[in-house]
Amino acid sequence: MSARRLESGGRIDRTTPISFTWDDKSLSGFRGDTLASALMANNQRVLGRSFKYHRPRGIMSAGVEESGAIVTIGRGNRTDPNIKATMQELYDGLEARGQNAWPNVRRDIGAVSGLFSRFFSAGFYYKTFMGLPPFEWGRGTGLWMQYEKLIRKAAGMGAASREADPDCYDHAHGFCDVLVVGAGPAGLNAAVTAAEAGRDVLLVEQDFELGGDFLNQPGPEAETRRLSLIAAAEKAGVQIMTRTTAFGLYDNGTAGLLERVSDHLPAPAAHQPRQRFWTVRAGATILATGALERSVAFGNNDRPGVMTVSAARTYLNRYGILPGERIVVATNNDSAHVTSDELAMAGAQVVLADARSDVARRDRISVRSGVAPLQVLGGASVSGVKLAQHRDGAWRRAETESCDLLLVSGGWSPVVNLLSHRGAKPVWNAENACFLPGPTDEAVFAAGSAAGIWNVDACEASGIAVTKTAFGESATLPEPGGWQAPIKPLYEVRLPDTKPKAFVDPQHDVTSVDVRLAHQEGFVSVEHMKRYTTLGMATDQGKMGNIIGLALMAEALGKDIPEVGTTRFRPPYTPVAIGALAGRNVQGHFKPLRRTPLHDWKLKEGAIMTDAGLWHRPWYFARSGETITEAYIREATTVRETVGICDVSSLGKIAVQGPDAGEFLNRIYVNGFGKLAIGKARYGIMLRDDGMVMDDGTTWRLADNDFLMTTTTTNAGKVMVWLEELLQTRWPDLRVHVTSVSDQWGGAAVAGPQSRAVIADCLEGAAIISDEALPFMGVASARLKGDIPCLIARISFSGELAYEVYVPAGYGVAMMDLLWGAAEPVGGCLYGLEALGALRIEKGHVTGAELDGRMTLDDAGLGKMASSKKPFIGNVLRQRPELTRADRPQLVGIFPKDRSQAFNGGALLSVPGEDTGHGEGWVTAVTHSPALGHWIGLGYIVGGHAAWAGKPVIATDPVRKGDVEVEIVSPHMYDPKGERMYG
Amino acid sequence: MIRISCPFCGPRDHSEFSYGGDGSITYPALDAPMQEWHDAVFLRENICGVQIETWQHVNGCRMWLLVERDTMTHEIHSVRSAHPGMAAALGAEQ
Amino acid sequence: MTRFTAWNVFWQGMTGQKGWTRQWRDPEPKSHYDVIVVGGGLHGLATAYYLSKNHGMKNIAVLEKGWLGGGNAGRNTTIVRSNYGRPGNREFYEHSLKLWENLSHELNYNVMFSQRSHIALLHSPAAIDAASRNYNTMRRTGAPDAEIWGLDQLKKTVPHLNYAPDARFPIMGAAVQKRAGTARHDAVAWGYARAADSRGVDIIQNCAVTGVIRDGGKVTALETSRGKITAGKVAFAVAGNTSRLWQMAGLGRLPIESHKLQAFVSEPLKPLLDQVVVFGVGGAHFYISQSDKGGMVFGGDLDWYKSYAQRGNLPMVQDVAEAAMSVLPCLGRVRLLRHWSGVMDMSMDGSHFICKTPLDNLYLNAGWNYGGFKASPASGWYLADLIANDRPHKMIENFDLKRFERGLQIDERGAGPDPKLHG
């Protein structure tokens, strides 16, 4: 191939030259070029190396189906591998380079693998690399994994950067009556028709210019028509998006679009995303997605200098490039004829080799009837082509034509991919030798060449008619086809009993021999053929090769193509950057952080935060030089001795209101709430339907019909959903309303002997918090200084005299200032989750570590809470036999035998000397107990404290720490009688 | 994207909703026999085709809905409030 | 059958590949089989193989309504591991992993089981403790490869994860199973099919079961799209269709709900990730590995609603992409090539069933949630054992349909009887 840019013609802007590099060589093109057209204009032939055999590859097409010119662009953290040069707009400074080759695509050492290609047939890797050659001796995976290392290095295409992607991506949403995909002759007409009928229309085009096939036509007529349609579309209010691919159709009229906002620029402008991922909900979708020209399988059909006929037309008319000087155009259909004429007019010497017989003479062209390409001559470029003639039921050798470019048209395949996403099976049309869009009940319609209509005028008419039928109006749909002479189906040319290197899927190096071998080995279903040979699994998803593969399999089976079937196309139509799918929901916006009203206040006070679900909660408040252990021990000690303050705002808070609220709570909690006095709180446990513990927390009765329920932080959302479900679906007769008020209240636990004094200091009137006025489990509403309304409940998680104080969220900071202002002077502290954990472990209070969704009330030692006077959720199924066995694990406390030792949460509890099996139990949580002066833990062990008291037990943690001998004690390890909280 | 017409909010993406489960289950009384509870909690018709199921408009009006949906095609045939009183008030077919 | 060896690859290369024959026959169904396994997926094919291999049974057929391996066998993300914690699951998956380790040799088919390590990232001390409990159990039950890694070791092994201290969920460590990895999913189906076929098993494709003929408490025959076939024993191994067949047999409801799970693959790339990496925190769930061909293979959670459609929806595509970016920020420019979905039979506790049924000679293999791929060898092994001996092996005695009545829920996630919450 010796391509050259013509002096004039094409749609490129010759006044704006653009410089770019190819394998570090500076080249130039023009605005309006793709990387492929610019490389072609610079007569660059070998642009890629194939996947398996490292065969040299050049430009094969001018579009999304490209299987040869696949390159890497960009540098560093903006490296983009596997870019189809045919789809990449040229921009100033674009850096492109070859991939899957060393040292470069022109001279690639990897090409030696081609010498062994006879062994690398389809699926050969399933037959070896298991053990020691030649007979695969051995066991296990050791040898395979050695082979695998080499295979993985050789496989893959381009190399991705390991650095974080510096660009950002947007998500956007759209709604329209009609989504038109493709802005060619059919799509433009469809959009205009729909918009003029008053519909809200979105027209998307993957190209950077509108027009589709109009852009490939020479002369002013097509351009005039194109411009007038665009003008009409704009006038009618069509919303037009270029550089936008509808990559997938989803349920209920939803489409996924990818808008390439700045891929045609050196880098996105500061305000711009690189790409934008659109979710569009359309009332109807019109697919004017065009058709792709396919090749034919014959010897060396993958050589640089072999491309589709329509690609040559595009390069000639759109980019002003004569892609070859001596051109053989091989076709089996009419579509190639006009291109032949145009190439000849542009100065090329053209031989038209038409596989059909009796093809009429054409001016300037040497026409050969009844011949087809058999074998391409040349290596890194085409030097000629051996032709074949079909006689007596077989192909026979014919003459050789010398040429520098071979153009092939094996027919056209309508782009049915998007309908295939919807599960609509394409239907074979024998007359036109192609699959047409299959029937669907959904409001998705195909128009133009996507519906198998070949000539431009009919495509325009199709766009109009299909749109009308989409609205339920009557219209005459043009029939598929439109060529003067019928196509002669042609998928493969080879002499009998030969095995040429004829590529069916050039990107994956799948040859016709591979397809036949798949047949020979029984991989006859199309999906088996696809998976065994990898045909159609490359980055083009078989846009060019699938039908040839089907045809070869059909021939081998002696069936027709439709009997063989088709594989289903999967979204996306063209590959989509994962960054675009993630959009802005990355880094800090990934699962957005929840902050309590006291978040910033705590940070100001030195909180070291830790993840608690989606929240950040204080882990500990380190004073200078303290380790986390020192900090939490100090904090817990301070709570036991003086007072500590802890943010509890993240607890779930649900207002349960209505005349039947008491009854409702009775049903969802294991213990009774109906008779809870106003101004009292009660600890409650709720079970799931299956009888396992779901959540716990205190619920406060504020008024006759008004309860405030608290839940754990983790389960706040789940419990709310659960209550809503029960009220709306199971017990609609209950007059109860639930409202999440989690975010409406900010809360602090104030715990320790001095807590009453601290709070009293902050109140407008201290009397309300006296022991008489507010006894244990009492609830009162009061005013903090500054007339801040608050709720105070005397409840204790730490086991100390303690209160929870809630204020409307906006007063949170004011409350903390007050409380801390009172607590700090008396030697109080702020405490975090680590100290909270220490305090509750000492007391044997359970949290999520103990209530992990697999434990019953009895397991957790809470069985006595269950009311026998009323039914409640989970009460029936919790009594199933396995759940009431005496040998179930039960909650226990754990001390190290040698009190100076520590042990770990997650350790297993086991009998000494037994080092296999699941053990007798496990440790759920540990802490250094400031009160007891040594490490303690909570855990579960079969039979509980009673079964193991005084017996040796090992806490075994082989993955971290090893064994520690422990004692099983009651879970109530500190103040077992609970006297302190009454203080 | 499935589009669900919430009777309170209008058509919305299914990502605003959360799927509950089989909407044909009638949960037994709280003190019903164990077998009844077992069957309601653990057994499913698992229909391939049109089924009644519950969804909650969790990022919308928070209402639980009864949705008639084809589990093969995802086509939705009807949506009504799961709360019979609400459904009646909205005039949905019962 | 030509043995698969390097020698034969060489020799066939020299002689035009003429000696390779069908990897399995395409027989016409006989009128009677001693055992019919319904479902030509991994579990069904493995069952047929082990029925013949381990139990010397003959006259076995596998019926497949489409093409073998066409269900979840070819739709999964190919991860093989045994890091389960519950009694029963732990031992079962460990046995499965041991079978995997020699499967290529056993079947004389390279299933490309690559023990490249399974790395589950941990983000909090509580998560490290919870993982340690499972991994300690593994150590004590035949998995010396279970390890808990600190940050240093993790950074050395996988340097390009998101270690930013201000990451949304900073990484604190990882639970690692070194013998875990990935396998070539299609090859497993083909390997079992070829091996079973060579032992005389009839693998009958395009043969849909349309009816189950019963004589009281026994199955006597199956109506199929290729005629009626009588059977001595019948087993169902039909993930995604279990409830339909169960109802065809007149057996009513099952503790199973069918959901769809999506899977994703990127364009092929030069080696970017040498391990299986799993990320699960803050309600996100994500797992990724790189195939030998170079594609990044990844997935996440179910689409969250019941479905028999083998196609995915956008919200979960976005969720998975977000998680991908969170754990491996270099994936931003890596491009998604295909996404698809499979139908998962989700059980009420997240664990499976291999058990006898209310019918004397009908056996069930079902409810694999989305863990069925790695289970295939052991699943076939124990279902075959059950069919041959008509009593459950100790390994599977709790994986029956009555376990919920007894109060046994083998619930790895502690999620309760909501099928969509299991994994």
Spell out which residues of chain A touch residue B13, defining contact as CB-CB under 8 Å: 279, 281
In this structure, are residues A903 and A896 in contact, taking their beta carbons and an 8 Å threshold?
A: yes
What pLDDT, on the 0 to 100 scale, is given for residue C310? 84
Spell out which residues of chain C touch residue A125, defining contact as CB-CB under 8 Å: 110, 112
Name the minimum distance, in Å, from the CA of B59 to any CA of chain C: 14
Residue A247, pLDDT above cutoff 70: yes
Q: Does domain A652-740 have CATH number 3.30.413.10?
A: no
Residues B11-32 have a mean pLDDT of 96
Residues A544-573 have a mean pLDDT of 92
Residue C228, pLDDT above cutoff 70: yes
Average pLDDT, chain A: 96
Spell out which residues of chain A touch residue C80, defining contact as CB-CB under 8 Å: none
Residue from B25, B31, B37 to probe the interface with A (highest A Cβ count within 10 Å): B37
Touching C: A residues 116-135, CB under 8 Å: 116, 118-119, 121, 124-131, 133-135
Say if the Cβ atoms of B56 and A251 lie within 8 Å.
no
Computed on alpha carbons and rounded to an integer, the radius of gyration of chain C in Å comes to 21
Name the minimum distance, in Å, from the CA of A567 to any CA of chain B: 19
Name the minimum distance, in Å, from the CA of C224 to any CA of chain A: 20
Thinking of the domain A1-164, which architecture would CATH place it in?
Roll (3.10)
Q: Does domain A491-559 have CATH number 3.40.50.720?
A: no
Per cent of chain A over pLDDT 90 is: 96
Residues A254-272 have a mean pLDDT of 95
The per-residue pLDDT for range C129-160, each reduced to its tens digit, is 999 999 999 999 999 999 999 999 999 999 99
What pLDDT, on the 0 to 100 scale, is given for residue C423? 81
Residues C20-42 have a mean pLDDT of 97
Name the minimum distance, in Å, from the CA of B76 to any CA of chain C: 13
Spell out which residues of chain B touch residue A872, defining contact as CB-CB under 8 Å: 30
- A1 — pLDDT class (breaks 50, 70, 90): low
Q: What residue segments make up the domains of chain B, in order of their start?
A: 3-90
Domains and CATH numbers, chain C: 115-180+258-346 (3.30.9.10)
Distance, in Å, from the CA atom of A323 to the CA atom of A405, rounded to the nearest integer, reads 7
Distance, in Å, from the CA atom of A327 to the CA atom of A306, rounded to the nearest integer, reads 10
For chain A, residues classed under CATH 3.30.70.1400 are 652-740
Residue C40, pLDDT above cutoff 90: yes
Residues C59-74 have a mean pLDDT of 96
Regarding the domain delimited by A167-293+412-489+569-590, which CATH topology (the fold level of the hierarchy) does it fall under? FAD/NAD(P)-binding domain (3.50.50)
CB nearest to A730's CB, from B1, B27, B38: B27
The per-residue pLDDT for range A573-587, each reduced to its tens digit, is 999 999 999 999 999
Burial class for A687, CB neighbours closer than 10 Å (0-12, 13-18, 19+): buried
Residue B93, pLDDT above cutoff 70: no
Burial class for A391, CB neighbours closer than 10 Å (0-12, 13-18, 19+): exposed
Say if the Cβ atoms of A721 and B56 lie within 8 Å.
yes
Residues A865-883 have a mean pLDDT of 97
Q: What is the DSSP letter of A766?
A: G
Distance, in Å, from the CA atom of A717 to the CA atom of B35, rounded to the nearest integer, reads 30
Spell out which residues of chain B touch residue C307, defining contact as CB-CB under 8 Å: 71-72, 74
For chain A, residues classed under CATH 3.30.1360.120 are 596-650+744-843
Name the minimum distance, in Å, from the CA of A208 to any CA of chain C: 20
**Domain A296-409 class in CATH:** alpha beta
For chain A, residues classed under CATH 1.10.10.1100 are 491-559
- B54: Cβ contacts below 8 Å, ≥ 6 apart: A725, A729, B19, B20, B21, B22, B23, B64, B65, B66, B67, B82
Tokens 């711009």 -> residue: A272
Residues A151-174 have a mean pLDDT of 95
In this structure, are residues C93 and C374 in contact, taking their beta carbons and an 8 Å threshold?
A: yes
> What CATH code is assigned to B3-90?
3.30.2270.10
Residue C391, pLDDT above cutoff 70: yes
Residues C64-76 have a mean pLDDT of 95
Residues C254-263 have a mean pLDDT of 97
Name the minimum distance, in Å, from the CA of B83 to any CA of chain A: 5
Say if the Cβ atoms of C114 and A169 lie within 8 Å.
no
Nearest CA in chain C to B38: C405
Average pLDDT, chain C: 97
Residues C256-267 have a mean pLDDT of 97
**Domain A596-650+744-843 class in CATH:** alpha beta
- The whole model's pTM is what? 0.97
First-residue to last-residue Cα distance in chain A: 96
Spell out which residues of chain C touch residue B13, defining contact as CB-CB under 8 Å: 315
Contacting C with CB below 8 Å, chain B residues are 1-2, 13-15, 18-19, 21-22, 34-35, 38-39, 41-48, 51, 53, 55, 71-74
Distance, in Å, from the CA atom of A179 to the CA atom of A470, rounded to the nearest integer, reads 11
Residues C195-203 have a mean pLDDT of 98
What pLDDT, on the 0 to 100 scale, is given for residue B94? 40
Touching B: A residues 233-252, CB under 8 Å: 250-252
Length of chain A counted residue by residue:
983
Distance, in Å, from the CA atom of A789 to the CA atom of A808, rounded to the nearest integer, reads 7
Residues A944-966 have a mean pLDDT of 95
The per-residue pLDDT for range A320-365, each reduced to its tens digit, is 999 999 999 999 999 999 999 999 999 999 999 999 999 999 999 9
The per-residue pLDDT for range A729-748, each reduced to its tens digit, is 999 999 999 999 999 999 99
Q: Which CATH superfamily is domain A883-981 in?
A: Aminomethyltransferase beta-barrel domains (2.40.30.110)
Nearest CA in chain C to B49: C308
Per cent of chain C over pLDDT 90 is: 98
Per cent of chain A over pLDDT 70 is: 100
- B92 — pLDDT class (breaks 50, 70, 90): low
